[in-house]
């Protein structure tokens, strides 16, 4: 009689465990689907959707924008950095002419 009772309890436990595993599997599928939706939304964004126009860099043709030395220092733009960039751009342009 005692073994029968234990068997009934085990079947109940197995059913609860099965339901629990189904819930976990459903949550994993739901999470993966939401991740895919977010990835698709990110891929559909353009750069202007991500970076407000006030923060975007001026175009290469726009020489009218100037920043004060204190503003440039805030962002780490130093004379050394400018010299490095000038050296890179001048050596890059001379290499393409050869």
Indicate the pLDDT class of residue 82, thresholds 50, 70 and 90.
confident
- Token reading at 62: 């726009």
- Token reading at 54: 């006030």
Q: What is the pTM of this model?
A: 0.36
Q: What are 41-72's pLDDT values in tens digits?
A: 888 877 666 666 666 555 555 556 688 888 88
- In this predicted structure, the answer to whether residue 22 has a pLDDT above a threshold of 90 is yes
Determine what percent of the chain is predicted with pLDDT higher than 90: 18
* CA atoms 73, 78, 79, 82: torsion sign: negative
Mean pLDDT of 8-27: 82
For residue 27, the model assigns a pLDDT of: 93
- Token reading at 10: 């085990």
What span, in angstroms and rounded, lies between the C-alpha atoms of 18 and 22? 6
- In this predicted structure, the answer to whether residue 74 has a pLDDT above a threshold of 80 is yes
> Residue 47: CB partners within 8 Å, gap ≥ 6?
56
């Amino acid at each position: 009689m005692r073994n029968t009772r234990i068997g009934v309890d085990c079947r109940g436990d197995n059913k609860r465990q099965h339901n629990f595993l189904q819930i976990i599997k459903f949550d994993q599928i739901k999470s993966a689907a939401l991740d895919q939706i977010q990835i698709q939304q990110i891929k559909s964004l353009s750069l202007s959707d991500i970076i407000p126009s006030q923060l975007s860099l001026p175009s290469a043709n726009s020489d009218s924008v100037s920043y004060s030395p204190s503003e440039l220092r805030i962002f780490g733009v130093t004379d050394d950095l400018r010299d490095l960039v000038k050296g890179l751009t001048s050596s890059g342009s001379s290499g393409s002419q050869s």
